[in-house]
Structure 1
């Protein structure tokens, strides 16, 4: 039988030359199972289409051969031929059946054979033929009458039948057969994840999961996001394994820190399966001791238990490397940090202490990575990756020890605060002294600069006056009258406060005599 591809089906359906009819009687059937639900079965070539019928007219049924008027004429002729007893003899030797539309009638003949009558009026001139029950609707799903059978398989189902010990898988559609050995078993819904079809097993594996199967003792892991067919009885499904991230609570444990403090620790672990084949082979329980498939556990409880034990061991190793008492210095460090934020200077030693104690060593993410790596060195050998181990709480078992450590932390914080305050005051006094000294220095420099500027100004003024006098003298030299007037003015200046008389040696000097009262 020819198997059509999806493109060929579309081409024939769109071909106007064949509009209203199919190019091949089996074409419509191929369309019915052209669905992802049937892909794995089709690839294995297990679908049997030889019994499929495209329409009701293709069914092998007894065709109607009469009408009510013909039957009436037969009865009248029979009554006339055998007056008196013809009315009793006719139904004994002649059979009339009316089969409604959409129904079939089960009949048996004189040889014990089985056959089905289709819709319409039927006349059978045989006293040994008789009907079995009433007409049966064709849409009842399955009609079986001796070696005759009619079957409707809905979309999304597979018809499962057996023929001499061999499974027969019937695709969606209308089927009819006449066989002494082919027996219909049931319609199988394809929506389930695990479907047993006789010796076959159909698996639908979601993304994020993997299916672990066993093929004659050899483990086969099937990936997710696909439908897989296990095509013989000894290829058995064992379990689904999730590849999603798992988060589990670790049981409360008691662990000893590096400073010998016994602590109660509560934590969680995040992990996932990265190598399903390795995990299924080395760690997960996949085979039931009883040998029965239904007794196989569907979860990964043993695998989970192994991961949690390893996580606890690595966490205990991490705690053993931590000094728990260091965490109580956080109060002092926090106080130092707060003082620095308020503008109070903190010594370099205190700043270093603040930096080193910023994180509680029990909750140090970077140091915890070493514990994760320690765990993964073991778990990766059986296909598991631990992503993180997270401590939720870690408290000493001894409450008195906790109070003592807390008191020491408070005292350390108070001492550090007092030291920080004293250092701040000293720093302030130093700043004030430096400010006053700087102010005096600036004032002295300003006064010196002022004196310098004044001296330079006076020098420049004297120089300018001398230059002016020199210029004036030069101008007087050029005029005798001006010279004489200058002499008179100077003489007047000299005699301003006294009356004096000057006599010259010669009479010519008398002209220069000037008396002032």
Structure 2
């Protein structure tokens, strides 16, 4: 087998490093090129063979001599009739010996050729050739190998892709990350970590089991447990857990040898017993948790859940309306209403997990969580009755919420009406005040000017004349000034001293 362009042998890859570190790869039988194969080359040619076949036809029929051809890439196993074995290489062969036995040609690039004490074989890349030399293992790296040794017997080729490879007394073990390997060295337990390849160098150092250190999610079988209020519950749950101490788990819980004591692989990742131990403890802890829970509280919680409606108390406080405030002890009792079902209370469930871990950690397992998926009464009649009670409580809660909403809406509406009335009253008062102030300022201005007084008297005279009730029926027109003077003076005086309030009609001069 020729070397690669970089000058490295095929066994320089990481898969073979563990074997090289133990000096177990034997390269003494490897050939660098096919021309190095120990085989007799051809000793004749087609013309010579044809000549002797024609010339000595009786000898050919009597098999006094034999002829055969070997194509390229092949060898022909030959026996010399005296207990010897040999290979004939490429070419034409003429054998002057009737005791020779010639077999069919075989391609040495794909076949393992074992011919007496001679062996010629190819070990593929990614495999290990295994042979025994007087009982001792011989490991062959990838390449073309040939030897002539009656005690060196080729057995098989093993694919390095397998995690556990048993080659006689040797065991090659590859442990993936996320797993640990349990092995036994003459009764002593040895744990091999993940992410590497290991070689067990003698027969009594045996591979036993792979143990996963990954997170496990296991469904518990439905359990039946009695709650604190004597309700028989049917509970479905899951357990999330992982092995945190492989050494303790292998010693205290996991089955690491076969039941019959024989060296059998079987399911190398089976941890059924350990899983069963975890589930049993989780079941016991969950039953203890349920035994401390009142199942009827789950319906009280359902009825106590509040919808996001407007609270009337803060609105009443903003509007200045006095509301009833319950005593402190009553409010404290209300806040004690649980916000979730006790069967699904994560804080209380953590105590259940801690109780389980007190036991499981003695055999190297940590329970991460126990999750209740469903919990219902085992008695279907009781379940139906409790469900009807929950429906009734929910209906009552619905009506209560609707009543609170209507009360809050009425309070908001009343508050709006009151604020609008106050604003209108304040506006009317302010406008009257402004009109009165203007009238007073006008009277003061008229009083300071004689001309303004006269014009005002003329205006009031006109108004007096317009008011027919101010004249006496049948009065003389020549006495008009005398009759109007008192009325005009009275009207002018009233206008000056008593400002008219806005919205109030003027008094007649004659009244």
> Shorter-normalised TM-score: what interval?
0.7 to 0.9
The answer to whether residue 227 in structure 2 is matched with residue 262 in structure 1 is no
Aligned length: 441
Name the residue aligned to 1:463. Answer: 444
Which residue of structure 1 lines up, in the alignment, with residue 135 of structure 2? 165
Partner of 1:283: 253
TM-superposed CA distance for 1:303, in Å, is 0.2
Match of 2:219 in 1: 249
Mapped partners of 2:184, 2:396: distance in 1: 71
| Structure 1 equivalent of residue 481 of structure 2 | 497
Structure 1 residue 264: Cα displacement? 1.7
1:163 to partner: Cα distance: 0.5
Q: Helix, strand or coil for the counterpart of 1:324? A: coil
TM-score (norm 1): 0.73
2:70 match: 99
Structure 1 residue 120 corresponds to structure 2 residue 91 = yes
Which residue of structure 2 lines up, in the alignment, with residue 34 of structure 1?
Answer: 12
1:138 equivalent in structure 2: 108
Aligned twin of 2:371: 390
Q: CA deviation at 1:430?
A: 5.3
SS of aligned partner of 2:166? strand
Partner SS, residue 229 of structure 2: coil
SS in 2 for 1:327: helix
Q: What are the superposed Cα offsets for residues 328-362 of structure 1, whole Å, 9 maximum, x if unpaired?
A: 1244324xx34x53x57489879986994442221
Give a deviation string over 1:12-36, Cα, whole Å, max 9, x none: x37xxxxxxxxxxxx6xx5333334
Q: 1:454 to 1:179 in 2, by over 3 A?
A: same
Q: CA deviation at 1:219?
A: 2.0
> Secondary structure of 1:462's match?
helix
In the alignment, which of 336, 340, 343 is matched to residue 362 of structure 1?
A: 343
Q: How does 1:329-368 map to 2 (within 5 A)?
A: 329-334=300-305, 337-338=306-307, 340-341=308-309, 343=310, 345=312, 356-368=337-349
- CA RMSD, Structure 1 to Structure 2 (Å): 3.8
Give, in angstroms, the shift of residue 197 of structure 1: 0.9
Determine the C-alpha separation between the residues in 1 that align with 2:89 and 2:418.
126
* Contact in 2 for aligned 1:263/1:397 (Cα 8 Å): yes
1:90 is displaced (CA, Å) by 12
Deviations 1:65-86 (A, max 9, x none): 333555678899x98xxxxxx9
Q: 1:39-60: per-residue Cα shift (whole Å, max 9, x none)?
A: 3323322111111112221112
Is structure 2 residue 155 aligned with structure 1 residue 175? no
Preserved contact between residue 288 and residue 297 of structure 1 (Cα < 8 Å): no
Residue 92 of structure 2 aligns to a residue whose secondary structure is strand
Aligned to 2:12, what secondary structure does the other structure show?
coil
Name stretches of at least 5 consecutive residues in structure 2 with no aligned partner.
314-324, 454-478, 483-511
SS of the equivalent of 2:234 reads strand
When structure 1 is superposed on structure 2, of 32-41 and 238-247 the one drifting more is 32-41
Query: How far did 1:439 drift?
Result: 4.9
* 1:218 corresponding residue in structure 2: 188
| 1:380 equivalent in structure 2 | 361
Q: 1:352 to 1:132 in 2, by over 3 A?
A: farther
Could you tell me how far apart the structure 1 residues matched to 2:354 and 2:78 are? Answer: 78
User: Is 1:47 matched with 2:17?
Assistant: no
Aligned partners of 1:326 and 1:139: how far apart in 2? 79
Conserved in 2, the CA contact under 8 Å of 1:161 and 1:184? yes
Gaps in structure 1 of 5+ consecutive residues: 15-26, 80-85, 473-494, 499-517
CA contact (8 A) 1:105 1:131 kept: no
**CA distances 1:269-303 after superposition (whole Å, capped 9, x unpaired):** 12222332332222211023432121766411110
The 2-side partners of 1:104 and 1:270 are apart by: 62
Aligned-partner SS, 2:207? strand
Structure 2 residue corresponding to 1:305, chosen from 272, 276, 279: 276
Cα distance in 2 for partners of 1:422, 1:322 equals 33
Distance 1:89 1:423 in 2: 122
- Give the C-alpha shift of residue 190 in structure 1: 2.8
Shift of 1:400: 4.5
Q: CA separation of 1:311/1:70 partners in 2, compared to 1, >3 Å: closer, same or farther? A: same
Question: Against the structure 1 CA distance between its residues 460 and 238, is the aligned structure 2 distance closer, same or farther, given a 3 Å change threshold?
Answer: same
Which residue does the alignment assign to 1:294?
264
| 1:433–1:94 CA distance, 2 compared to 1 (3 A) | closer
1:489 aligned residue: none
The answer to whether the Cα contact below 8 Å between 1:107 and 1:131 also exists between their aligned partners in 2 is yes
Q: TM-score, normalised by structure 2?
A: 0.74
Q: Do the aligned partners of 1:250 and 1:267 also contact (CA within 8 Å) in 2? A: yes
1:359-438 to 2 correspondence within 5 Å? Answer: 359-420=340-401, 438=419
Using the TM superposition, give the Cα deviation of residue 408 of structure 1 relative to its aligned residue in structure 2, in angstroms: 4.1
* Greater mean deviation of Cα atoms: 298-307 or 32-41: 32-41
Q: Determine if contact 2:208/2:265 at 8 Å carries over to the other structure.
A: no
Corresponding residue number in structure 1 for 2:426: 445
> Given that residues 312 and 407 in structure 2 are in contact (C-alpha distance below 8 angstroms), is that contact kept between their aligned partners in structure 1?
no
- Using the TM superposition, name which of 104-113 and 346-355 deviates more: 346-355
* Cα drift, residue 311 of structure 1: 0.8
CA 332–92 in structure 1, closer or farther in 2 if over 3 Å, else same: closer
| Per-residue deviation, 1:322 | 1.8
